[in-house]
Structures are given as structure tokens and as C-alpha cells.
Amino acid sequence: NAGVTQTPKFRVLKTGQSMTLLCAQDMNHEYMYWYRQDPGMGLRLIHYSVGEGTTAKGEVPDGYNVSRLKKQNFLLGLESAAPSQTSVYFCASSYRGGRAGELFFGEGSRLTVL
């Protein structure tokens, strides 16, 4: 059982380039999330989805777009990368009816923007 899988695990971008991070979960969870983790800041919510075809903004959504065309996948896009987006990105999922706040995380995607 793979759980939550993120690809790629590492990426280096130049300022202005675009890229997409892919998150896939095999637990049939309804809810999915993208967080970023920066030193001294903890994890901050970027965007989330409560079901296929739905997305919503979190705490720090600027500069990112997301899509959830299939229940098992949640994509995070950077249209024009900036050095401030250098971070570790975590995807997470949870199921409706589960304990509020019980998230299942992937192993992270480390992004460096030069």
C-alpha cells in the first residue's frame, strides 16, 4: 500500500520557469491538500480540495494553481517560479468521516528556485 506518493522528489528551477508537482493517493480519500514547509515557519496550507473537480485556497495560495481532475490525484502548478517558492512541498490526504486533522502525508518534494 503506497499511501501518498509525490513526484518529483527533487527539482531545481530557474526563476520564471514553470513546473507541476503531482500527488497521488491510493486510499480513496476525499480530501487532499498541498502544504509548504519552510525553516521557522512550520507547515502552511497552499490549496486544498474536498472532492474531485473542487479546489479552494489555503493560507498562502499566491503564485500557485491546483487541479483535481481525478479523485486520486492532486496537482500543484507553479506558472512562473520565484526564489521565494524554494521550499519543501508536502501533499496530504484525509477521508470524510475520519478524525478532524488526521492527515496522511507524502514524503515531500524539495524545490529550489535559482
Partner 1 sequence: QKEVEQDPGPLSVPEGAIVSLNCTYSNSAFQYFMWYRQYSRKGPELLMYTYSSGNKEDGRFTAQVDKSSKYISLFIRDSQPSDSATYLCAMSAGIRSYGKLTFGQGTILTVHP
What does the binding site for partner 1 look like in residue numbers (CB under 8 A)? 4, 31, 33, 40-45, 48, 50, 58, 90, 92, 94, 99-103, 105-108
C-alpha 35/C-alpha 20 separation (Å) is 14
C-alpha 3/C-alpha 72 separation (Å) is 11
Closest approach, Cβ 100 to partner 1, in A, equals 5
Closest approach, Cβ 6 to partner 1, in A, equals 8
Neighbours of 79 (CB within 10 A): 12
Report the residue number, 92 or 113, with the smaller CB distance to partner 1.
Answer: 92
